[in-house]
């Protein structure tokens, strides 16, 4: 009789004694090549008789929150990643994707979408979102009557077209029939001031509309490094500041070396680094003297409380006029027309 593998011997054969005897007789007189052929033939027969899994409908809808981003320097990408992590922590099924990899066909099947997108300079889109935005503006864009969406627009209020790309994207999605999942948020240079409440309202709305995922979520991407915001900036000292261009050159290109105080900063190729320089003491003193304000009075901002002097040192730009500041000055003094 043919000797069976120990693992098979411990498993009851789904064959009658007569079938087992016939099989043993067949295998006993077979060569190695014949045995391999019989094994392949039997596997093929088994595969043909196994019922095929029912294919998913082409227009099947997955109940998840898709978080997309268009980012030039990494801020919108980080904001999108923070939303994805917060949503997953609340039990939502989440997909995080760059708009460069996102198609109109996918958009047409989408049900819940959050987009973080930046505006560069005076109204330019980020490079990785140009193709998507061009297609979305075309006549080929799908109707989005089943879509609920939200937009986080990033920009700089010192430019006239502040958050222009995010505003136009919001407008276009609404034109195609999309409904707001949560209101659009416009973020200035202090991104978290607008991004934090936007994340909270978006996650709450998504939980109400989608509900927590019944399946266990397996993260297929590494967790994003924590965002470092103005409230938790890494302190650094200037170790070297050497001019590389000639003295008579109009360009002022410098080699700057920074030494970080405390834990080392995680910085990789492709990352962007924002250097925030504190206002000098002499400038703060002049500002307080001209305004007549007390530098030691306490100022509350969010969950932080510190003196006006410290607030002016690190939280406000004292050397450049911004559009909001000019608007506030003109509103307070209408008797002095521009």
Closest CA to 87 of 230, 169, 202, 208: 202
Q: Do 180 and 87 fall into the same domain?
A: yes
Distances in whole angstroms, Cα of residue 273 to Cα of each of 76, 154, 224, 266, 276: 14, 17, 16, 11, 10
Considering the domain boundaries, does residue 271 fall inside one?
A: no
What does the buried/exposed string (b/e) look like for 182-210 if buried means 16 or more CB atoms within 10 Å of the residue's CB? bebbbbbbebbebbbebbeebbebbeeeb
Mean pLDDT value of segment 63-82: 93
Q: Do 72 and 181 fall into the same domain?
A: yes
Closest CA to 70 of 114, 105, 100: 100
Considering the domain boundaries, does residue 26 fall inside one?
A: no
- CA torsion 157-72-315-253 (nearest 10°) is -110
Print the domain residue range for 157: 65-209
pLDDT reported for residue 337:
64
pLDDT reported for residue 266:
72
Phi, psi of 112, deg, nearest 5: -135, 120
pLDDT in tens, 32-70: 777 777 776 776 676 666 555 444 444 444 579 999 999
Please check the confidence at residue 232 and state whether its pLDDT lies above 60: no
pLDDT reported for residue 273:
72
Number of domains in the chain: 2
Residue where a domain terminates, one of 190, 209, 228: 209
Closest CA to 132 of 152, 156, 115, 155: 115
Q: In the chain, pLDDT over 70 holds for what percent of residues?
A: 79
Mean pLDDT value of segment 14-41: 76
Q: In the chain, pLDDT over 90 holds for what percent of residues?
A: 40
pLDDT reported for residue 181:
96
Considering the domain boundaries, does residue 138 fall inside one?
A: yes
pLDDT in tens, 93-152: 999 999 999 999 999 999 999 999 999 988 999 999 999 999 999 999 999 999 999 999
Residue where a domain terminates, one of 162, 177, 209: 209
**CA 126/CA 95 separation, integer angstroms:** 21
Q: Do 185 and 287 fall into the same domain?
A: no
What does the buried/exposed string (b/e) look like for 50-59 if buried means 16 or more CB atoms within 10 Å of the residue's CB? eeeeeeeeee
Residue where a domain terminates, one of 158, 185, 209: 209
**CA 93/CA 87 separation, integer angstroms:** 8
Q: Are 127 and 91 in contact (CB under 8 A)?
A: no
pLDDT reported for residue 300:
82
Helix/strand/coil percent split, the chain, to 5: 40, 15, 45
pLDDT band at 4 (very low <50, low <70, confident <90, very high): low
What is the model's pTM?
A: 0.57
CA 283 to chain centre: 38
pLDDT in tens, 247-281: 888 788 888 888 877 666 677 776 667 777 888 89
Considering the domain boundaries, does residue 87 fall inside one?
A: yes
Q: Are 125 and 163 in contact (CB under 8 A)?
A: no
Considering the domain boundaries, does residue 9 fall inside one?
A: no
Q: Do 204 and 287 fall into the same domain?
A: no
Average pLDDT, the chain: 81
Considering the domain boundaries, does residue 247 fall inside one?
A: no
β 148-154/112-118 pair status = parallel
264 class by beta-carbon count within 10 Å (0-12 exposed, 13-18 middle, 19+ buried):
exposed
Q: What is the DSSP letter of 198?
A: H
Q: Which residues contact 254 (CB under 8 A, 6 or more apart)?
A: 241, 242, 243, 244
Q: Do 81 and 181 fall into the same domain?
A: yes
- Where does 191-253 show beta strands of DSSP type E? 236-243
**CA 334/CA 338 separation, integer angstroms:** 9
Q: Which residues contact 72 (CB under 8 A, 6 or more apart)?
A: 118, 120, 126, 127, 128
12 class by beta-carbon count within 10 Å (0-12 exposed, 13-18 middle, 19+ buried):
exposed
pLDDT reported for residue 94:
94
* CATH number for 150: 3.40.50.360
Considering the domain boundaries, does residue 72 fall inside one?
A: yes
pLDDT reported for residue 149:
97
Mean pLDDT value of segment 209-223: 52
Considering the domain boundaries, does residue 117 fall inside one?
A: yes
């Amino acid at each position: 009789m043919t000797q069976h593998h120990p693992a098979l011997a411990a498993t009851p054969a789904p064959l009658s004694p007569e079938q087992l005897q016939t099989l043993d007789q067949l295998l006993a007189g077979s060569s190695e090549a014949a045995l391999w052929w019989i094994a392949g033939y039997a596997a093929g027969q088994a595969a043909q008789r196994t019922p095929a899994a029912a294919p998913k409908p082409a227009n099947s809808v997955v109940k998840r929150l898709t978080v997309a981003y268009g980012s030039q320097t990494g801020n919108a990408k980080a904001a999108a990643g923070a939303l994805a992590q917060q949503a997953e922590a609340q039990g939502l099924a989440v997909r995080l994707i760059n708009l460069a990899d996102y198609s109109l066909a996918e958009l047409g099947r989408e049900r819940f979408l959050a987009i973080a997108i930046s505006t560069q300079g005076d109204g330019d889109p980020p490079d990785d979102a140009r193709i998507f935005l061009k297609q979305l503006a075309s006549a080929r864009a799908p109707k989005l009557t089943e879509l609920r969406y939200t937009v986080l627009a990033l920009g700089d209020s010192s430019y006239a077209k502040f958050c222009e790309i995010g505003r136009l994207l919001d407008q276009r999605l609404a034109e195609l029939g999309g409904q707001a999942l949560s209101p659009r948020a416009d973020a200035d240079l202090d991104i978290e001031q607008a991004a934090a409440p936007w994340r909270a309202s978006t996650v709450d709305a998504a939980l109400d509309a989608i509900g927590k995922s019944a399946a266990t979520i397996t993260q297929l991407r590494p967790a994003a490094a924590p965002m470092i915001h103005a409230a938790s900036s890494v302190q650094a000292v200037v170790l070297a500041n050497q001019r590389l261009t000639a003295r008579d050159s109009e360009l002022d290109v410098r080699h700057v070396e920074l030494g970080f105080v405390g834990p080392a900063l995680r910085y990789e190729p492709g990352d962007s680094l924002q250097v925030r320089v504190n206002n000098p003491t002499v400038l703060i003193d002049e500002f307080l003297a001209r305004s007549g304000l007390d530098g030691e009075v306490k100022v509350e901002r969010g969950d932080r409380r510190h003196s006006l002097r410290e607030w002016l040192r690190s939280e406000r730009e004292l050397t450049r006029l911004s559009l909001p500041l000019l608007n506030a000055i003109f509103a307070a003094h209408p008797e002095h027309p521009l």
